[in-house]
Amino acid sequence: MNALKKFVVRYKNIPIQARASFWFLLCSILQNGLNIITLPIFTRILTTEQYGFSSSYFAWNDLIVVICTIRLSYGVFDKGMVKYEKGRDKFASALLGLTTAISVSMTALFLIFHSIIEKALGMSFVLCLSLFIVQSFAPALLFWTARNRYEYRYQKFTAVTLSTSVCCTLLNLFAVLKIPYDSGEVKVLSYQVVWCAVYVIFYIFIFSKGRCFYDREIWKYALTFNMPLIPYFLSTLILDKADRIMIGNFCGNSEVALYSVSYNIGRLMVLVTSSLDATFTPWIYQKIKENKFDNAKKISASIMVMFLGMSTVFMLFAPELITIFAAEQYKDAVYIIPPVVVSYFFIMMYGLVSKVEFYYEKTKSIAVITVMAAVIDIVLNYFAIPAWGYVAAGYTTLISYLFMSVGHFILSVRISKEKGIYAEIFPWKLLIILSLIMVTVMVGVNLLYKSFILRYSVLLLLVLYAVIFRKRILGIFLTLKR
């Protein structure tokens, strides 16, 4: 009992920012976890054609989000919380009025040109219409969660996020199991209907508090801030979703399913990257601010070495992951996992070095690199997918992220030299060596998939290494925590 009281006292003494960060991170991990938990269920009750269709649908959904809402819940919302500190309810309400106006306008355009859009998306009128209607209400939940994040109201945020995510996931699964209709269409439509019911609640809540649909100053401020960011938003989306859309157009929904399952399994690495990034970011920012780098090079090197080892284990264990999370017909998708995992290695690396760019607010250069990577991804997909099939998309995505990593690396080196911190902040040469090793490992792992004994021998060696150097690995996290 005394131990529990001590724990409660210690917990309450933790700064609210740290407590909030912990709960926000936990919610993110659990939300991703729900997607992973339901993956083996959906891959077994849906055909590859149906699962591929749902993946393509949600890829288009993410594109429509940018078009209908210009992502006002990102960037301008946090800035608005400062600019309109004494009128946050009105600001949120006016922003919701703006997204509603844009979404309704886009829905009207769809109704006028629906036959063209249906043909382009390869979906029925009802499915296409659902993509647009939902966007009138969806920003409400995003605004509510963004404000609670900003104001560190982690209790409400956690309760709402977890309860809605669990309930909506269960209702979506129940609908697919019980409604006697095409399971692929039931999956996407039930998802939209259930979540739309949640959005409407927050839509009413925000308008009831703010009581403002239109405010000329707020609308102008929001549009001026976010409109220039649309190329960045679209480019980021293209890097993540365009491959599925293009595979669907060139190869069909069954191939989209094979690619999506592997990609979703590979996204387990996001749990690692998000956790490390959430811890590393404030730590390195503080080091730059104080100009006291101590063991910054050693910590960043250890993080990338550790991530390389984890990526290798993940790739080696890929056939078993496919067996656990997907049905028998998905087994050939194992060859997508290595390039996806290596893509996350480069995402982790450019996320590491780009802290310098973000700290010194070089956001225009960041946007240029992202747009160029997206263009490369589309061009490579256009030629590679028809020639080599859906597997090629994994490697075009890898090349695009490699380009981003190189771009951020060069830019960060230049900024670091200008600020006089080049020698202290990152082990630049080691990062290049680790990148070459990671690509080499990917090639080797692909060859090992046909040999169970060799694959598990390498796995055993890596596990032994982790056990032997466990104190050093734990020390990385303890240093970042301090």
Better-scored residue on pLDDT, 32 or 56 = 56
So what's the pLDDT on residue 102? 95
pLDDT, residue 470, reads 67
Count other C-beta atoms under 10 Å from residue 359's C-beta. 16
* Closest-CA residue to 317 (of 299, 339, 337, 333): 337
Which tokens belong to 326? 């997907």
Burial group, residue 200, by CB count within 10 angstroms (0-12, 13-18, 19+): middle
What would the two tokens of residue 129 be?
A: 């219409």
Question: pTM of the entire structure?
Answer: 0.80
The Cβ of residue 443 has, within 10 Å, a number of other Cβ atoms equal to 10
Q: Which of 87-96, 262-271, 278-287, 399-408 has the lowest mean pLDDT?
A: 278-287
Answer yes or no: is pLDDT of 271 > 80: no
Question: Across the chain, which distance is largest between two alpha carbons, in Å?
Answer: 69
CA distances for 164 relative to 32, 198, 402, angstroms: 14, 8, 36
Q: Nearest 5°: phi and psi at 463?
A: -65, -40
pLDDT at 39 over 90: no
What's the confidence (pLDDT) of residue 186?
94
Residue 388 pLDDT grade (very low, low, confident, very high; cuts 50, 70, 90)? very high
Q: What percent of the chain has pLDDT over 90?
A: 39
> Do residues 52 and 248 make contact, with C-beta atoms less than 8 angstroms apart?
yes
| 105-119, 306-320, 403-417: least confident range | 306-320
Mean pLDDT for 210-222 is 91
pLDDT of residue 89 exceeding 80: yes
Which of 455, 176, 453, 461 lies closest to 321 in space, CA to CA? Answer: 455
Please report the pLDDT score of residue 321 as a whole number: 87
49 pLDDT above the threshold of 80: yes
Q: Above 90 in pLDDT, residue 479?
A: no
Quote the mean pLDDT of the chain: 86
Please give the structure tokens belonging to residue 160.
Answer: 């709402």
What spatial distance separates the first Cα and last Cα of the chain, rounded to whole Å?
A: 28
Q: For the chain, what is the total number of helices (H) and then of strands (E)?
A: 24, 0
Amino acid letter, 199? Y
Q: Assess whether pLDDT exceeds 70 at residue 8.
A: no
**pLDDT grade for 400, boundaries at 50, 70 and 90:** very high
Predicted local distance difference test score (pLDDT) of residue 475: 60
Taking a C-beta distance cutoff of 8 angstroms, is the pair 393, 247 a contact?
yes
Place of tokens 């995510």: 165
Select from 285, 415, 274 the least CA-distant residue to 347: 274
CB 312, CB 469: distance < 8 Å: no
Rounded mean pLDDT, 189-218: 93
Residue ranges of the alpha helices (H) in 122-250?
125-133, 138-150, 154-178, 183-210, 216-226, 230-250
- For residue 24, the model assigns a pLDDT of 75
DSSP per residue, 339-390: HHHHHHHHHHHHHHHTHHHHHTT-HHHHHHHHHHHHHHHHHHHHHHHHHH-T
Q: Identify which of 447, 237, 439, 449 has the alpha carbon closest to the alpha carbon of residue 339.
A: 439
- What's the Cα-to-Cα distance from 348 to each of 6, 311, 432, rounded to whole Å? 37, 11, 13
Q: Write the CB contacts of 190 (distance below 8 Å, at least 6 apart in sequence).
A: 171, 172, 175, 176, 179
pLDDT of residue 364: 76
Q: Are 353 and 365 in contact (CB under 8 A)?
A: no
pLDDT at 71: 86
Structure confidence at residue 426 (pLDDT)? 86
How far is 418 from 422, CA to CA, in rounded Å?
8
**Overall average pLDDT of the 143-159 stretch:** 84
Instruction: Classify 182 in phi/psi space as left (phi over 0), alpha (psi -120 to 50) or beta.
Output: beta
- Comparing C-alpha atoms, which of 326, 266, 311 is closest to residue 459? 311
What secondary structure letter does DSSP report for 46?
Answer: S
User: Which residues, in sequence order, are CB contacts of 278 under 8 Å at separation 6+?
Assistant: 21, 25
- pLDDT at residue 22 is higher than 80: no
Please state the rounded mean pLDDT for residues 325-350. Answer: 89
Is residue 447 classed exposed, middle or buried when 0-12, 13-18 and 19+ CB atoms within 10 A define those classes?
exposed
Q: Residue 402, Cα to own-chain centre: how many angstroms? A: 17
Strongest mean pLDDT among 99-108, 246-255, 356-365 = 99-108
pLDDT band at residue 275, thresholds of 50, 70 and 90?
low
In degrees, to the nearest 5, what angle opens at C-alpha 427 toward C-alphas 424 and 433? Answer: 165
Q: How far apart are CA 405 and CA 376, in angstroms?
A: 14
Q: What CA–CA distance (Å, rounded) separates 479 from 39?
A: 35
pLDDT at 99 over 90: yes
Percentage of the chain lying above the pLDDT 70 cut: 91
